[in-house]
Amino acid sequence: VIGPLPGVLVGWSYWVAVWSANAAIAIAATSYLAALYPPVAATPLTGALVAVGLIWALTALNLAGARRAGEFQVVTTVLKLLPLLAVVAIAAGVGRSVPVTLPPLPSPRGLVTGLASAVTLTLFALVGFEAASIAAGRVRDAARTVLRATMAGTVVTGVLYLIVCSAIVLMLPPRAVAASPAPFALFVATFWGPAAAFGVALFAAIAAIGALNGWVLIQGELPLGMARAGLLPRWFARTSGRDVPVRVLLLSSALASALVLVNASRSLGGMFTAAMLLSTCATLWLYVAILVAALARRVAVVTATGGLAFTAVAFWGAGAEAAGLSVVLMLTALPVYALRGAARKQAA
């Protein structure tokens, strides 16, 4: 609908979103590991190096093939439910006896700015549901399986996290939540004691590592699919004997590692926020393209217009640094696309 070049720019931007999300997820996993063993994050650089180590450990797993990565994903998905269920159990058991702690609302101007920032931060937890289609080529009966998994997974996950996050925000002092690098562990420690919090931190770290594993898989599949469709140079389409896109996996993980290390002077929370905002902004360009295509086809015009307004608010909430960097990184696709065109001319 929008043409090959815009399609490449959007696809490239989504790839940027994936590997920058991997940086954020690795940092989140490090935060929970630090709750188990504080020396992990004794200094910002130490925490950054641990996060980079996690990225490369999961990259090595994915280099062994999609099947092994998938088996690991199943195990971590089951384990990641435990800290969520612990929060739900606490909220159900003592929620009524705990006073709700809501901070006073800021001034109208501050409220609008705060809401815009909250929209962007919350959006990071939502984006990614569309990524199931990227690995469709490795799924049986993809038309049915991917659709059902996407719809059911989005609904169930959305409801579960709405309950869990509401419990943490409403039942703990806002300042304590904002200052904690591991809010799940803090929540459980408050109501069940430090021993239970240790277990929750462990499973939360496992959950983050499992999420990282899945996104490392995606970071290889996306450029591979674009290259096989002729939208990127064939360099991106080279695979190993196990059909693993080794080159793209290594390149993506190197970029994610660089993003972590560039922000290593910040706290773990600062590193996470920087990577998360970049990932969210880079993903928003995909939504912008879809909405523009809908308007061009005159499909759901009112909804598409509202969607564009929402993305504008999200970009504003992310700030000029993250939004601008997402544009710069998206435009790096232009010379790559030009190389693809030059290679085609030589082949002809």
pLDDT in tens, 98-120: 666 666 665 565 666 667 777 77
Higher confidence at residue 145 or residue 114?
Answer: 145
Residue 239 has pLDDT above 70, yes or no: yes
CA nearest neighbour of 185 among 198, 169, 195: 198
* The pLDDT of residue 50: 95
pTM here is 0.81
The single-letter code of the amino acid at 100 is V
Using alpha carbons, list the distances in angstroms from residue 86 to 169, 182, 305, 344: 15, 15, 40, 56
- DSSP letter for each residue of 177-232: HHH-S-HHHHHHHHHH-HHHHHHHHHHHHHHHHHHHHHHHHHHHHHHHHHHHTTSS
Residue 75 has a CB neighbour count (10 Å cut-off) of 12
CA nearest neighbour of 217 among 75, 58, 78: 58
Domains of the chain (ranges; CATH) run 17-268 (1.20.1740.10)
Residue 282 has pLDDT above 80, yes or no: yes
Distance of alpha carbon 311 from alpha carbon 291, whole angstroms: 10
The single-letter code of the amino acid at 212 is L
* The pLDDT of residue 96: 67
Ramachandran sector of residue 206 (left: φ over 0; alpha: ψ -120 to 50; beta: rest): alpha
For the segment 247-263, what is each residue's pLDDT rounded down to a tens digit?
A: 999 999 999 999 999 98
The burial of 68, by beta-carbon neighbours within 10 Å (0-12 exposed, 13-18 middle, 19 or more buried), is given as middle
- What is the average pLDDT score of the chain? 84
Please give the average per-residue pLDDT across 213-236, as a whole number. 89
CA nearest neighbour of 207 among 222, 185, 178: 185
